[in-house]
Homo-oligomer: A and B are copies of this chain.
Amino acid sequence: MTKRTEQEEQIYYETEASEQEFLEWYRTKEHKKYERPSVTIDNVMLAYNREEDALKILLIKRKAHPYKGCWALPGGFVNPNESTDKGCLRETFEETGVQLKESNIEQLYTFSTPNRDPRDWVITVSYIAFLNQEALKAGDDASEAAWFDITLTEGFALLHHQMENIDLNIGAETTSAASTGNLAFDHEKIISTAIKRIIGKMYYQPRLLTLLGESFTIAEARKVYAKFLGVPYQTLDHSNFKKDLLKFLKEVDERPTGVGRPSKFYALDIPYLK
């Protein structure tokens, strides 16, 4: 609370009014003269395409200034009667038609550098959203949204769009916002922060496996992990990988198909992820 508010509240308190009276007084007085920022959500929406063995990120082409023509993270304003979590879920639904659960999203970081939006004072709460591949139909039409391939190598990432030739380095030391100029605002920084977060948590809280939907095989999990680690999936030893991950999984009854010994199917079994 600022000094001024404290003072006013102090004066009011000394009248020994009830809490109910106080709240009524508070709401009617012109308390909102303190400047307020817009608060938005920016959503790093990721999906994994099993057929292509490719990691995808949804970006939206800006049709207006600033950053006209640049690609940007999907996002929007937070509404007064929702948490940012709910706002993220709503935004994801509006953008892709997919209704996620809280276990599919994770708050990432709040970015607030002054002038990060040249128009106005905007603070953004960023999120990571793990979509399963059925979401990939969004952006297929000629709309302004498109799924980009995201290719990581150890320590940095390359984003590559099939149509346009966007090269974007997400290094370990990305510093100034949107330094390469391909992504709007500080969204490059947000994406690199997201990737680092995912990599950092993958071995003790494998939420990224929700990219694979309800159930999946060890081999599929290996491929997803390999994508984030920026290595061919064969370099992750199947036996050891399974040994590490099994504590988060429960076996489910599902019949596989295809050549080779049929693999078992697993689902995430992490109570606190709800």
Contacts and interface: CB of A to CB of B under 8 A. Distances in A.
A13 B119 contact: no
Contact of A123 (B6, B35, B39, B109): B39
A64 B112 contact: no
A110 interface: yes
Contacts of A76: 1-2
Contacts of A121: 80
B107 A109 contact: yes
Interface residues of A, number: 49
Contact of A22 (B37, B64, B109, B113): B64
Interface stretch (A23-31, A160-168, A207-215, A221-229): A23-31
A269 interface: no
Contact of A119 (B17, B27, B39, B81): B27
A66 interface: yes
Contact of A80 (B17, B37, B40, B118): B37
A49 to B, nearest CB: 27
Contact of A23 (B31, B35, B40, B66): B66
A65 B64 CA distance: 45
A68 interface: yes
Contacts of A66: 19, 22-23
B9 A64 contact: yes
Nearest to A115: B81
Contact of A112 (B6, B109, B125): B125
Nearest to A118: B23
A244 interface: no
A120 interface: yes
A76 B38 CA distance: 17
Nearest to A205: B200
Nearest to A5: B77
Given A39-B39, A78-B123, A83-B113, 4 more contacts: A6-B64, A22-B66, A31-B119, A112-B125
20 contacts: A2-B76, A9-B65, A12-B64, A13-B68, A19-B68, A23-B119, A26-B120, A27-B119, A31-B119, A36-B38, A37-B39, A37-B78, A39-B123, A80-B121, A83-B112, A83-B114, A84-B112, A107-B110, A110-B110, A112-B125
